[in-house]
Structure 1
């Protein structure tokens, strides 16, 4: 894994700048606030099915930002370590979780450091992260290295299609302006078959996938079979 595989300084700076508005429901992270209940429900169903005899260990949420997913999973009773390279985002996450008595802790840093410390996790989540790293394949390899045997990796991202270009990039950033301009680079979006191939090269087996579709009239996200824009996938370590 190359040293720069998991980190773009430009992206870290972008998300650091958003840290103080991360938890505002109608702020720049509003799409993630609306998407989060769907993401959490999809993940928890798979965790409870995969670990039917009881959940071992801790979830590592890579690229946790200010903690939208990490905090929600902790409220559902899962121990969580949130990891992010943006220190301002981690500070916002810690401030928001303060006083809630959740099984949740945060750390500012990179996946390479945890690998060097020989840390492994039963579950790793990386949602809306992989499209922001310079080397997606290297990033997946790092996540796989930190995953315990039979552990689950859950990744969500955007498909590289004409529909995603028109809606998730042009529509969201320049027309509806529900995302800050420059949030995404469409060239970094990843087709599901490519993501599965990268995961296979990292020693991971694809076990599940679903589309995450937005209903603009109800302003709600729902699970679907349409993977042409937003999608989520689960992988098991071989």
Structure 2
């Protein structure tokens, strides 16, 4: 296979595209998830690049790519923090929604309906590549992870977030979130496509990146929020860097 596109997955997200910016709609879980993702991204960007966290736009001068950006839930806050942001998605409807929302928000974000492998073939590279909740929806995972890694500049970072292939992840993400709580449409996830942290780290290492940090992410129902945790059995994030040339 020479593409990572899974047409059935693209169709799923295209059908929901109009709801990207509705915090009570079908993407409510991602809206809830965004604060912990942004906190982790901010923490590591500031530390890795020696940036001033008190600045209004601390990411000024950094280029960030969000692969599988959807409606732009991560792209927009990163642009507001000063980064030069590119968002790509294989679903053209997602890109149309993201572009319109950024325009009405007064943000300059480069949205493209394309894939990681197509962008890598153009020789593009970025200070940070975000690979967030995408790997479980693509075909040809090795090609996908290689293309994402190829997009990281020497000295740059890549953050991968996904779901672990455990019984607890099946119970929480599929039985709980999809079938009982109805946080997500039934069929959003396929447990067989989840990857373990060791599998993700092996793919990162194979493609020239060095794993520098990892964290679990758990939902606290009483606080109604997601938080970082040492428990990586369900949701987790792995940070890696490409050694400087």
Specify the TM-score bucket, using the shorter chain as the normaliser. over 0.9
Distance in 1 between residues matched to 2:78 and 2:181, nearest whole Å = 30
**Stretches of structure 2 lacking an aligned partner (at least 5 in a row):** 52-57
Deviates more, 1:79-88 or 1:69-78: 69-78
Query: Aligned-pair distance for 1:103?
Result: 4.2
For the 8 Å contact 1:78–1:103, the answer to whether it is kept is no
Query: Aligned-pair distance for 1:69?
Result: 0.8
For the 8 Å contact 2:17–2:71, the answer to whether it is kept is yes
Tell me which residue corresponds to 1:46: 44
Query: Aligned-pair distance for 1:115?
Result: 1.8
Tell me which residue corresponds to 1:126: 131
TM-score between both structures, scaled by the size of structure 1: 0.95
Tell me which residue corresponds to 1:64: 69
1:214-233 C-alpha deviation (Å, 9 max, x unpaired): 01222211111110100111
For the 8 Å contact 2:117–2:144, the answer to whether it is kept is no
Tell me which residue corresponds to 2:117: 112
1:33-56 C-alpha deviation (Å, 9 max, x unpaired): 001011011001101111116854
Query: Aligned-pair distance for 1:102?
Result: 2.5
Distance in 2 between residues matched to 1:48 and 1:126, nearest whole Å = 19
Cα-Cα RMSD? 1.3
4+ residue stretches of structure 1 with deviation over 3 A? 53-57
For the 8 Å contact 1:77–1:103, the answer to whether it is kept is no
Instruction: Give runs of aligned pairs for residues 30-41 of structure 1, distance below 5 A.
Output: 30-41=28-39
1:85-117 C-alpha deviation (Å, 9 max, x unpaired): 101011111111113333422111111221222
TM-score between both structures, scaled by the size of structure 2: 0.92
Tell me which residue corresponds to 2:21: 23
Q: How many residues are paired up?
A: 236
**Stretches of structure 1 lacking an aligned partner (at least 5 in a row):** none
